[in-house]
Structure 1
Amino acid sequence: MTAPVLADPRRTSAPAVPSRPRRRVRTVVAAAVTIVVILAFWSVDITWSRLADLPAELVRYGWLMFSSPTWEKLPDALWQTWQSVQMAWVGTVLGVIVATPLSLVAARGFGPAWLRSILRFVFSTIRAVPEIIFAIIILSMTGLTPLTGALALAVNGIGTLGKWGYEAVEAVPAGPIEAARAAGGSPAQVLRWGVWPQATPVFLSFWLYRFEINVRSSAVLGLIGVGGIGDMLTTYTQYREWSTVGMLLIVVIVVTMTIDGISGRIRRRIMEGARVR
């Protein structure tokens, strides 16, 4: 019986050392970003000496606004806030009506590739434009009315809800979809019975979240004169009636936080179900 041949440790090849990763691209990108940031600060006309006065100015204006708010204008502020909420609600509903069917078609596997590409490009383009730009374009046709703000919120919501929608459809488990197709269902039937029952909670959550965003955005749209609480804020800020501005800010904060809290609880209930006590 022959003895086993032992390997010579001197002839054993050493493990290959991985090559050191090249960081040239990362260094070039970091240098380019640094240069852009420096040029941006250098080109903007900023009086840097005034930054030291900023904390004191914030305290002074905070005292002017919140030391003695003008509560006599509260009824008018609540009415204007209600108009802003109505603007946000109408914009959300219109956005949902238009974006939901388009998002289903834009999902992978339910629409032709050319149409899917066009819809996704439209969604991306809409998201790149702020609501206030849409409002400025629309007001030339509808005038300075709350309808202008609602339409601007609706158009901007189409881009956001459309993207969220097709991503939610593509994240649905494939089992029910394959079962509906195996049963001979048409694309519309597959969407109705294989996709929609599973995606409904996600869609409802997205709609509520978009309503929260629109409530905050409606106050900003009021700055261009389409009505709502933002219109009052612009008017009293221009006249430097800081006590009234403080009261309006308190109303905006309280109403926005209340709507966010209620909507958040509803969304958690939809996504997580009732909590067992």
Structure 2
Amino acid sequence: MSAALTGIPAKPRRPWLIAGWALVTGIVVLAFWSIDIDWSRLADLPAEIVRYTFLMFADPNWEKLPEALWQTWRSIEMAWVGTILGILLATPLSLLAARGFGPAWLRALLRGLFSLIRAVPEIIIAIVILSVTGLTPFTGALALAINGIGTLGKWGYEAVEAVPRGPIEAARAAGGGTLQVLRWGVWPQAEPAFWSFWLYRFEINVRSSAVLGLIGVGGIGDMLTSYTQYREWSTVGVLLIVVVVVTMLIDAASGAIRRRIMEGARARVLA
């Protein structure tokens, strides 16, 4: 019985969608099989993990703890400076990239810039700029700041476009210009989201600063690379313990602050 007689609409055919999925699947399969992997060594992986875990954590070299804490603090400083610079650069750009506050050509240009920056890892940005600034923590901070423009800019204009339009229209009806509309119609509603994004970006930068140490810009990552190359596994274990504990503490504190900003203070129930 035909669909016209039964009243049931025919199932839509999407040949281009099927062809697209087939193409993606084929690319993934080809990329997977083109990787030169010695599959026979996978059986040795669990034993190797256990062996290196024992080397690192059976007898950690706690004498390196003060130096590890100092280098971790340098990584946090790098992340903090990178976050502040990223906020100062990305916030005005995100406002201009929001629909209704910037010309169409500028919005397209800024959104393309944000996408381009997000596509480049921090370590690549650091390698590019270290020829000017040298192997210093400031190089890592600049790399984190530049990379933060991509994420903070995108989050920013999305937050601005998501606010209710009522206060914006009221500010415009009262004769306010673009700056007044942003100040009184947008910012009071978008401010909690912006603070949440900034704190979350700081969490990301703390983890990324350890990775940037791999190229020698300082911090705990630089120390971790050096002791790994010399196979001093007892010291590497101490460094990993410090990195994990400090990162978890920062994530927990930042997460609690973000929840307080977004949800407000919880009312106490009095008996």
TM-score by length of 2: 0.95
Q: How big is the alpha-carbon RMSD for the aligned residues of Structure 1 and Structure 2? A: 1.2
Aligned equivalent of 1:186, options 164, 177, 192? 177
CA distance in 2, matches of 1:223, 1:195: 41
Partner amino acid for 2:192? P
Instruction: Describe the SS at the equivalent of 2:125.
Output: helix
Cα offset, 1:174, TM superposition: 0.5
Residue aligned with 2:12, SS:
coil
Matched letter for residue 42 of structure 1? W
Structure 1 match to 2:77? 86
Instruction: Give the CA deviation at 1:23.
Output: 5.3
1:32 equivalent in alignment to 2:23:
yes
**Number of aligned pairs?**
265
Deviations 1:173-202 (A, max 9, x none): 111101000000001100011101111111
Counterpart AA for 1:181: R
TM-score of the superposed pair, with normalisation by structure 1: 0.93
Q: Please say if 1:55 is aligned against 2:46.
A: yes
Q: Does 1:125 align with 2:113?
A: no
Secondary structure, counterpart of 1:28 in structure 2: helix
* Structure 2 unaligned regions, length at least 5: none
Query: Structure 1: 5+ residue runs without aligned partners?
Result: 1-12
For residues 64-84 of structure 1, the C-alpha deviation after alignment (integer angstroms, 9 at most, x for no partner) is 111111100000000000000
Question: Aligned partners of 2:11 and 2:186: how far apart in 1?
Answer: 47
Q: Is residue 257 from structure 1 mapped to residue 261 from structure 2 by the alignment?
A: no
Q: Structure 1: which 4+ aligned runs deviate by more than 6 Å?
A: none
Bigger radius of gyration: 1
Superposed CA offset, 1:209-263 (max 9, x none): 0000000000000000000000001000000001100110000000000000000
Q: Residue 276 of structure 1: which of 264, 267, 271 is its match?
A: 267
Residue of structure 2 aligned with 1:201, choices 169, 192, 199:
192
SS at match of 2:59: coil
Q: Which amino acid aligns with 2:162?
A: A
Question: Which of 27, 33, 40 is the equivalent residue of 1:42?
Answer: 33
Identity of aligned residues (%): 77
Alignment of 1:1-277 (within 5 A): 14-22=5-13, 24-277=15-268
Post-superposition offset of 1:26: 4.3
Kindly provide the CA deviation profile for residues 100-131 of structure 1, in whole angstroms up to 9, marking residues without a partner as x: 01111110001111111111111111011000
Cα distance in 1 between the residues matched to 2:144 and 2:265 = 32
